[in-house]
Structure formats: structure tokens, C-alpha cells
């Protein structure tokens, strides 16, 4: 990951606390800022803002429930809570599958479970 990407990601984490909480849940608590930044950068690379939604300046935070195995493969993804905009909701549900394989969870994160289920917010905001 480029050094400037790490700096940008750290800035995003400080500006959007919900992103930090999301990444911490995925990579496990106690991770370094560098690891959190790298995992967030991985996800940001795969997010696509739907053109029609951007043209209409639609913004929102859909929540997606997904199940992944220990190798980072997405087994299912569903919409948990709508943003109020179908285009944003569809992109949020598509994101986990497109981004796979996701970063593997640390071995000490729920080691007794073969799969991990997460509900995560996907933030869509138009720059001012």
C-alpha cells in the first residue's frame, strides 16, 4: 500500500469514527493503526459510488450483514438496513463479494467458529 494511502486512510479514520469501529470489528481489537489503515484501504479500493446516485447527490449509510469463512471468502451478503436509496443499497450489498477474498480475521478472533458474521455500515457521502 502506498505511504500516502496510509496517511489518507488515517485521516479518514479520524474524520469518520464509524469507519474506525468497522475496521476494528473486522481486524479485531488491539490492532495497530497501520493494520487498521491497511484493512480499511483494502475495502475503500473496492467501493464504487453509483453514478446515478452521485449525479443526484444521494448520500446515506446502508448496513450490510455478511458471513465470511476464515479464508476471507464471502458466503452470503444481505441488506440489514436501507440507506433510503436503492442504488446505494445495491452497491453496499455487492461490495463484500467484489472485494473478496477479504483480509483473513486474526486466528484469535472467535477461533471456535468456522464462519464470522458481521453487520457493517457502508458510508456514501458526496464531497462538498
- Nearest 10 degrees: Cα torsion 8, 118, 109, 16: 20
Express each pLDDT in 1-45 by its tens digit.
444 445 555 555 555 566 656 655 655 555 555 555 555 556 667
Under 8 Å between Cβ of 26 and 39: yes
CATH of domain 3-121: 3.30.1150
Answer whether 93's CB lies under 8 Å from 18's CB: no
pLDDT at 69 over 70: yes
Could you tell me the sign of the dihedral formed by the alpha carbons of 103, 109, 115, 120, in that order? negative
pTM: 0.68
The pLDDT score that the predictor gives to residue 1 is 43
Amino acid at each position: 500500500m502506498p505511504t500516502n494511502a496510509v496517511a489518507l486512510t488515517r485521516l479518514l479514520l479520524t474524520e469518520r469514527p464509524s469507519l474506525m469501529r468497522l475496521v476494528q470489528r473486522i481486524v479485531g481489537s488491539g490492532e495497530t493503526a497501520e493494520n487498521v489503515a491497511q484493512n480499511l484501504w483494502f475495502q475503500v479500493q473496492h467501493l464504487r459510488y453509483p453514478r446515478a446516485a452521485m449525479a443526484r447527490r444521494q448520500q446515506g449509510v446502508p448496513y450490510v450483514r455478511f458471513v465470511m469463512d476464515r479464508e476471507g471468502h464471502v458466503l452470503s451478503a444481505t441488506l440489514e438496513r436501507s440507506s433510503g436509496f436503492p442504488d446505494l443499497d445495491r452497491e453496499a450489498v455487492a461490495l463484500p463479494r467484489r472485494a473478496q477474498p477479504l483480509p483473513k480475521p486474526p486466528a484469535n478472533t472467535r477461533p471456535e467458529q468456522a464462519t464470522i458474521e458481521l453487520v457493517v455500515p457502508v458510508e456514501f457521502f458526496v464531497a462538498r
